[in-house]
């Protein structure tokens, strides 16, 4: 496995691979890898000749009061996991090599990124779209795998690829959960033992909605109220948002219809966690 730190070297290497007729698969990450990331690599590996994994904590998608400096990092462990998963190249650039000091061009999506996480994290998706577009240019990938846990991010990237005619096949990777149901996330490391137990309220609230749907309840206001009550019983849990939206347009809905996306963000202590499910009435 090869480690590349220079964006120029990454692009030159990718172009040479393409000239040789190689198919490139790509899994972009911010590191501190877990089984969820590895599942994305496992999805990409059979469909490409060369698998590239990027590890880059992208500063432009963090707000001024967010956890950029505290975001967990462990490159040696990540390197071992990538190699075990069959990655051929790990792209590991530094921020000052990815962004010019006077950078003035950004990629901004204006519809799907407005609500949900975009509503509480202004500028976040501008940073996400810009870095993903840059990574696609550097890696010259044919396919890229993104996890369903970041549901809004996935749909925003799919829209960017569609609207800008970027020749990359976006593949969705299912949410990977701990045995008790907590969605795997690098930020789970922030949780202490008590908070880790409290964090189960996200999945429990999703399961509660699924149960109510089976009983015939489809009115969003009623479903949301039950989620608020359940999460409200958890000490230290603060709801940032609970939204029922159309799975394609991300527009809010009043009833759960075919393929409604239920997404929520909850703070457990200082840690912001997200989860989601695609619902069927």
Q: How many helices (H) and strands (E) does the chain have?
A: 10, 9
Where does the chain hold its CATH 3.40.50.620 domain(s)?
2-173
Give CA–CA dist 186/145, Å, rounded: 17
Joined tokens for residue 229: 């009550």
Helix or strand or coil: residue 190? Answer: helix
| Residues forming a β-bridge with 261 | 245, 278
Number of C-beta neighbours around residue 33 at 10 A: 25
**2-173 CATH, one of 3.40.50.1110, 3.40.640.10, 3.40.50.620, 3.40.718.10:** 3.40.50.620
The string of pLDDT tens digits covering residues 138-180 is 999 999 999 999 999 999 999 999 999 999 999 999 999 999 9
The side-by-side arrangement of strands in the sheet containing 169-173 is 2-4, 89-91, 50-55, 24-29, 143-147, 169-173
The CATH architecture to which 186-279 belongs is 2-Layer Sandwich (3.30)
Note down pLDDT in tens along the chain; length 281 residues: 999 999 999 999 999 999 999 999 999 999 999 999 999 999 999 999 999 999 999 999 999 889 999 999 999 999 999 999 999 999 999 999 999 999 999 999 999 999 999 998 999 999 999 999 999 999 999 999 999 999 999 999 999 999 999 999 999 999 999 999 999 999 999 999 999 999 999 999 999 999 999 999 999 999 999 999 999 999 989 999 999 999 999 999 999 988 999 999 999 999 999 999 999 87
Where does the chain hold its CATH 3.30.1300.10 domain(s)?
186-279
Contact 239, 228 (CB under 8 A): yes
- Annotated catalytic sites, by residue? 37
Joined tokens for residue 220: 């969003």
The side-by-side arrangement of strands in the sheet containing 237-246 is 237-246, 260-268, 271-279
**DSSP conformation class of 24:** E
Give CA–CA dist 281/258, Å, rounded: 6
């Amino acid at each position: 496995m090869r480690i590349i730190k220079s964006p120029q070297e990454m692009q030159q290497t990718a172009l040479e691979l393409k000239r040789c007729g190689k198919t490139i698969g790509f899994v972009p990450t911010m590191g501190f890898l877990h089984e969820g990331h590895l599942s994305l690599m496992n999805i990409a590996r059979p469909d490409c000749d060369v698998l590239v994994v990027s590890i880059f904590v992208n500063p432009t998608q963090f707000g001024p009061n967010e956890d950029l400096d505290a975001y967990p990092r462990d490159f040696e462990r990540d390197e071992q996991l990538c190699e075990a998963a069959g990655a051929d190249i790990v792209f590991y650039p530094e921020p000052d090599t990815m962004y010019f000091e006077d950078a003035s061009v950004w990629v901004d999506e204006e519809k799907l990124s407005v609500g949900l996480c975009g509503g509480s994290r202004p500028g976040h998706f501008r940073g996400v779209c810009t870095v993903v577009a840059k990574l696609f240019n550097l890696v010259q990938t044919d396919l890229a795998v993104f996890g369903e846990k970041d549901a809004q991010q996935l749909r925003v990237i799919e829209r960017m690829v569609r609207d800008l005619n970027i020749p990359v096949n976006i593949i969705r990777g299912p949410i990977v959960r701990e045995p008790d149901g907590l969605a795997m996330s690098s930020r789970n490391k922030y949780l202490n033992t008590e908070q880790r137990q409290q964090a189960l309220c996200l999945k429990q609230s999703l399961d509660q909605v699924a149960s109510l749907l089976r009983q015939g309840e489809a009115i969003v206001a009623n479903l949301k109220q039950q989620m608020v009550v359940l999460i409200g019983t958890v000490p230290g849990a603060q709801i940032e948002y609970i939204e029922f939206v159309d799975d394609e347009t991300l527009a809010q809905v009043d009833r759960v219809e075919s393929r409604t996306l239920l997404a929520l963000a909850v703070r457990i202590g200082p840690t912001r966690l997200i989860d989601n499910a695609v619902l069927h009435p």
